[in-house]
Chain A
Amino acid sequence: MLSSVFAKNLYDMRRGLMGWSISILLMNLWIVTFFPAIRESASALDQYLQNLPPAFLALMGDTASFTTLEGFLSVELFAFFWPALTLAFAIASGAGSIGAEEESGTLDLLLSHPIPRWRLLLEKFAALMVFSGIAIGAGLLGLILGTLFVDEAIDLGNLAAAVLSIWLLTLLFATLTLALTGVGLRKGAAAGIGAGVAAISFLINTLGPLADLPETLRRVSPWHYYDGGAALSEGLSLGNSALLAGLVIAFLAVALFGFQRRDLAV
């Protein structure tokens, strides 16, 4: 298990990852089981929703209709709860990838061995991809178990598309915090900035239209390119996914470049 930096990272994270995965699995399973009861009162709820202030409606997502499973999942899971949970995990792991080793001092000893800095960073990134993939996979499993439990069908292709979209958004914020520590920020600062950017860009994207923010500002928000719930009924937008993936690669490049050049902190 300790044959590489990548393997050691997975080994170190096994307990935390298991905790997060089980939490996300149970949350998703639990939420899906509410669907039958909600659907019964869906028309009343829809009416209720129409009477909500537009800001609340916007926060709940575009497809705020509880009459279909897709609409329900979109609002209850994909609009906020699921990505929020995976992002919290990803932001902390991304900031800790190099940050924790640098602050505890183990990075000095590690990099005195014949391993190039770029390789260390790529192995840490690969571990982040696997962590977030497992955490999201656990959520997917919970969701599917939930649909079986309530005996509802869901288009698995579209579900996979929506989950891929969450994964890309998660990786984007994980790589953002990795890049911030890569260029020399402390772990705590990187995590704080990552969480701040995630929250503010979420609000800009969801409340932007109501607050009459210019459309260009919304386009700056990564959430604008997160298909989430929309993918459940409409499938994946390749353009959006490619853009998120491109940003992941760009942040990774910044992390590599910054980390390769800078002094390690004592």
Chain B
Amino acid sequence: MTEAIRLERLNKTYGKHRGVVDLDLEVQAGEVFGYLGPNGAGKTTTIRLLLDLIRPSSGRARIFGMDCQAEPIAVHRRIGYVPGELALYPRLTGEQTVKHFAALRRGVDMAWVNQLAARLDFDLKRPAQTYSSGNKRKLGLIVALMGRPDLLLLDEASAGLDPLIQQAFYQILRELRAAGTTVFLSSHNLPEVERVCDRVAIIREGKLVAVQEISSLKAKALRRIEIVFDNHVPVAEFEGLAGVRDVSVTDRRLTFTVQGSLDSIFKAAARHTVQNVISYEPSLEEVFLSFYEGEVQHAV
């Protein structure tokens, strides 16, 4: 079985509210898969359907070939999960929390737990109510990883981790991937998904709008760039370059948006004296617009 996750026309409606609509998706075993969308798009709903915490209105979800609703326990044995809004038992210490959840699984190796804690710089001895939000997420990660799951479900995984710990976390993800673990990571943060994922699905208003290799997502992504020169530059030199548009010059400042390669614009800029370059990462909404362009009228 090479499919870690398979969604088949998966629907969830809450009364009149849309949850997710006709999701069809396959995630291969061993992939680090990004699930990208703004808040409220249906990311958490999808993950809770996979975990059988909520039930589909129609369609089905499978994990490693097993129906998530028919065989939840067999599925859960192979999953580690970090909820987006992680709630822990405030009076238990980190260690007690780990032991409690470990008791619900078989064969949790405490040496591995201690190793994870050390790498995330996490103190297991304190009560959970004294942890900062970043520390809570670390504990959530340890609980999710302690059973060495085949599939890791991360809902807004690295939110709240400080940059240094994020690096340690990404390093752990890379190792897991090398060991064959599948990672399904929801995020509203495009740079994060670009950094760690192989493929990405984009969800918006409950519907999948694209499933892409990260490389093609990057190629499609629009970026806004600002170049500051030591002198006024003629705008005509930059108009009409490949992938470049919305060019304008104000005083010594050139601004434009670019899709794909930056090569032609930098070669053109190199004819002048460049003082500064500022690159704005595209917002998710801008990424969506690049997918929708020409097909759909976007709501303003």
A residues adjacent to B (C-beta < 8 A): 2-5, 8, 12, 104-106, 108-116, 261, 263-264, 266
Nearest residue, chain B, Cβ from A105: B87
Q: Mark B147-159, 1 if CB is under 8 A from A, else 0.
A: 0000001000000
Assess the B103–A109 pair: CB atoms within 8 A.
no
Of the candidate stretches B20-28, B76-84, B160-168, B284-292, the one touching chain A is B76-84
Residues of A within 8 A of B105 (CB): 113-114
Identify B86's interface contact among A4, A109, A110, CB under 8 A. A109
B45 to chain A, nearest CB (A): 9
- Known contacts: A2-B92, A114-B105, A116-B72. The answer to whether A104 contacts B53 by CB under 8 A is no
Q: Which B residues from 163 to 209 make CB contacts under 8 A with A? A: none
Assembled-state Cα–Cα distance A46/B89 (Å):
54
23 A-B pairs in the complex with CB atoms less than 8 angstroms apart = A2-B100, A2-B103, A3-B99, A5-B104, A105-B85, A105-B86, A106-B87, A106-B88, A106-B89, A108-B48, A108-B87, A109-B86, A109-B101, A110-B104, A111-B53, A112-B51, A112-B53, A112-B83, A113-B101, A114-B76, A115-B104, A263-B54, A263-B55
Assess the A4–B103 pair: CB atoms within 8 A.
yes
Q: Which B residues from 42 to 101 make CB contacts under 8 A with A? A: 44, 48, 51-55, 72-74, 76-77, 79, 81, 83, 85-89, 91-92, 96, 99-101
Number of A-B residue pairs, CB cutoff 8 Å, is: 70
Assess the B51–A111 pair: CB atoms within 8 A.
yes
B residues adjacent to A (C-beta < 8 A): 44, 48, 51-55, 72-74, 76-77, 79, 81, 83, 85-89, 91-92, 96, 99-101, 103-105, 140, 143, 153
Residues of A within 8 A of B89 (CB): 12, 106
For the complex with contacts A109-B87, A112-B153, A266-B48, 12 further pairs of A-B residues with Cβ separation under 8 Å are A2-B103, A3-B99, A104-B87, A108-B53, A111-B51, A112-B81, A113-B105, A114-B73, A114-B74, A115-B73, A263-B53, A264-B53
Residues of A within 8 A of B101 (CB): 109-110, 113
A109 to chain B, nearest CB (A): 6
Assembled-state Cα–Cα distance A261/B73 (Å):
15
Identify A3's interface contact among B83, B92, B103, B153, CB under 8 A. B103
- Known contacts: A2-B100, A114-B105. The answer to whether A105 contacts B83 by CB under 8 A is yes
Assembled-state Cα–Cα distance A264/B52 (Å):
9
Interface centre among A12, A104, A115 (most CB of B within 10 A): A115
B26 to chain A, nearest CB (A): 22
Assembled-state Cα–Cα distance A116/B72 (Å):
8
Assembled-state Cα–Cα distance A3/B153 (Å):
25
Residues of A within 8 A of B87 (CB): 104-106, 108-109
Assembled-state Cα–Cα distance A176/B127 (Å):
33
Residues of A within 8 A of B74 (CB): 114
Residues of A within 8 A of B143 (CB): 109
Nearest residue, chain A, Cβ from B54: A263
